[in-house]
């Protein structure tokens, strides 16, 4: 009786392995630096959206302030590296831990809020973070931080000759985020989160400690998001408050999951694979003139998906078949 379930879980793993192998070969097929750049961003947003999905998709606490954690990861890494010469790997973990702790501290008061009050609180908190970084002179204020090149090594996480190492790190990040989600999905936490999302009162009556569930989801989600921020800082080697902590990032982390399927294992990956290349390409080919075609496409896509397929595009692949079979 458990076979179909175990089978599905295994198939997910096999699928992931195949996709990872295919992605790993991509740089050998595509040498164009511009395209490689898009691939790095796609992988990064897939991972970020996967992280967002843990708190907002599975646990149902819609955060539109994840830019805060992204920015904290980026700033922690950049500051430790430029001011104290700490290697980015340490900065990455430090940024993750700081973000997780801040997420817990913020979760304490905010998780009592319902629906829209919560969403707005997340926006407002990230916005306060942004304004504070704008005015924090030691951290470069509005000018930001230029990360100087100190070598070409994995230790310093700086690569001047080829972008490929960044690609493989982004791929690893994406795979790890996916695996964590895969593992959590069939764990006590995964079930608790979905229960909290669907009906907190019923969850409580079944022994689910709702508050702790939300806190757990927030910590994991913030930690992973900050790793993404740390990576991004090293990847672009220049950060300022607007380029890592603005509201736009919060939205960019949510949208792949929205497009692919909120609260699903494959949604963020699928969504990012469609959305990021689409935006990057339209931005450079049509939107370069600033005429907003990229925004039009983007917005129309989100509206269309929300209305036509609220469960996301992954539904096209799996649920559809089941429903027609019924």
Partner 1 sequence: MTTQTIVQSLASGLLMGLLYGLIAVGLALIFGLMDVTNFAHGEFLMLAMYVTFFLFAFFAIDPLLAMPLVAAALFAFGAVIYLLVVRFAMRAKTNVGMVQIFATFGLAILLRGLAQFFFTPDYRSIPTSWLGGKTVSVFGVFLPVPQLVGALVAVAAFGALYFFIKKTDFGRALEATREDAGAVALVGIDKNRVFALGWGLGSALVGLAGAIMASFFYIYPDVGASFALIAYVTVALGGFGSVFGAFAGGIIVGLVEASTALILPPSLKSVGIYAVYLLVVFIRPRGLFGSI
Partner 2 sequence: MSVPLLETRGVWQRFGGLIANSDISMSVVPGEIVGLIGPNGAGKSTLFNLIAGVLPPTQGTIWFNGEDVTRMPAAERCQRGIARTFQVVKSFETMTVIDNVIVGALIRTTVMREARRKAHEVLDFCGIAHRADKLARDLIPSEKRRLEVARALATEPKLLLLDECLTGLTPIEAQTGVELVRKVRATGVTVLMVEHVMEIVMPLVDRAIVLDLGKVLVEGKPTDIVRDPRVIKAYLGDRHAVG
Of 15-23, 119-127, 169-177, 198-206, the window that binds partner 2 (rule: CB under 8 A) is 198-206
- By beta-carbon proximity to partner 2, the closer residue of 166 and 192 is 192
> Least separation, in Å, of the C-beta of 103 and partner 2?
22
- Is residue 315 within the footprint of partner 2 (CB under 8 A)? no
CB of 192 to partner 1, least distance (A): 18
Taking CB under 8 A as the criterion, which residues in 213-272 touch partner 1?
A: 247, 251, 254-255, 258, 262-263
Segment lying near partner 1 (by CB under 8 A), choices 3-11, 221-229, 232-240, 296-304: 296-304
What does 194 bind: partner 1, partner 2, none (CB cut-off 5 to 8 Å by kind)? partner 2
Q: Which of 79, 203, 234, 314 binds partner 2 (CB under 8 A)?
A: 203
For residue 164, the partner it binds in partner 2, partner 1, none, with Cβ less than 5 to 8 A by kind, is none
97 lies in the site for partner 2, by CB under 8 A: no
Alpha helices in 30-53 (DSSP H): 33-52
Residue 145's H or E segment, with its range, is: strand 145-146
Of these, 194, 255, 260, 265, which contacts partner 2 (CB under 8 A)? 194
Site for partner 1 in 78-117 (CB under 8 A): 109, 112-117
What distance in Å separates the CA atoms of residue 267 and residue 317, rounded to the nearest whole number? 11
How far, CA to CA in Å, does 14 sit from each of 10, 20, 21?
6, 10, 11
Count Cβ atoms within 10 A of the Cβ of residue 302 and give its class: 0-12 exposed, 13-18 middle, 19 or more buried.
middle
Q: What is the CA radius of gyration of the chain?
A: 20
**Number of residues counted as binding partner 2 (CB under 8 A):** 25
Residue from 299, 317, 320, 321 binding partner 1 (CB under 8 A): 299
Does residue 206 touch partner 2 according to CB under 8 A? yes
Site for partner 2 (CB under 8 A): which residue of 11, 153, 162, 199? 199
Binding-site partner at residue 148 among partner 1, partner 2, none, CB < 5 to 8 Å by type? none
Select from partner 1, partner 2, none the partner in contact with residue 207, using the beta carbon and a kind-dependent cut-off of 5 to 8 Å: partner 2
Please report whether residue 204 would count as binding partner 2 according to CB under 8 A.
Answer: yes
Does residue 187 bind partner 2 (CB under 8 A)? yes
Q: How far is CA 79 from CA 61, 92, 101, 251, in A?
A: 30, 11, 18, 25
Give the count of alpha carbons within 13 A of 16, CB side only: 22
The answer to whether 43 and 210 have CB atoms below 8 angstroms apart is: no
Told to check if 164 binds partner 1 by CB under 8 A, we report no
Q: Is the C-alpha dihedral spanning 248, 88, 51, 284 positive or negative? A: positive
Q: Are strands 238-239 and 145-146 parallel, antiparallel or unpaired?
A: antiparallel
User: Under rule CB under 8 A, which residues in 237-266 are in contact with partner 2?
Assistant: 263
Q: How far is the CB of 263 from partner 2 (least distance, A)?
A: 8
Give the distance, in angstroms, between the CA of residue 50 and the centroid of all CA atoms in the same chain.
5
Helix axes 164-185, 3-29, angle to 10 degrees: 170
Rounded CA separation 50/183 (Å): 13
């Amino acid at each position: 009786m458990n076979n179909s379930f175990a089978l599905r879980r295994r198939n997910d793993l096999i699928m992931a392995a195949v996709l990872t192998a295919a992605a790993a070969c991509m740089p050998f097929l595509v040498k164009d630096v511009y395209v490689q750049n898009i691939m790095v961003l796609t992988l990064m947003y897939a991972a970020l959206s996967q992280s967002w999905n843990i708190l907002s998709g599975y646990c149902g606490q819609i955060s539109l302030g994840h830019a805060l954690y992204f920015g904290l990861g980026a700033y922690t890494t950049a500051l430790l590296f430029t001011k104290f010469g700490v290697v980015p790997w340490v900065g990455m973990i430090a940024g993750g831990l700081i973000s997780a702790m801040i997420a817990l501290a913020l979760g304490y008061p905010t998780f009592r809020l319902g629906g829209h009050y919560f969403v707005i609180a997340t926006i407002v908190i990230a916005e306060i973070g942004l304004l504070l970084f704008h005015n924090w002179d030691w951290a470069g204020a509005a000018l930001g931080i230029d990360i100087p090149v100190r070598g070409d090594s994995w230790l310093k996480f700086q690569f001047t000759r080829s972008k490929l190492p960044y690609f493989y790190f982004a791929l690893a990040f994406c795979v790890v985020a996916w695996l964590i989600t895969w593992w959590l999905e069939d764990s006590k936490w995964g079930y608790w989160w979905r229960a909290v999302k669907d009906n907190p009162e019923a969850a409580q009556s079944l022994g689910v400690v709702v508050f702790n569930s939300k806190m757990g989801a927030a910590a994991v989600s913030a930690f992973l998001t900050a790793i993404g921020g740390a990576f991004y800082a090293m990847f672009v080697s220049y950060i300022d408050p607007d380029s890592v902590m603005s509201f736009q990032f919060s939205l960019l982390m949510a949208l792949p999951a929205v497009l692919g399927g909120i609260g699903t294992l494959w949604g963020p990956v699928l969504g990012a694979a469609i959305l990021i290349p689409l935006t990057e390409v339209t931005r450079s080919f049509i939107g370069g003139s600033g005429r907003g075609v990229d925004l039009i496409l983007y917005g129309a896509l989100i509206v269309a998906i929300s209305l036509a397929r609220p469960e996301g595009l992954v539904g096209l692949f799996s649920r559809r078949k089941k429903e027609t079979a019924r």
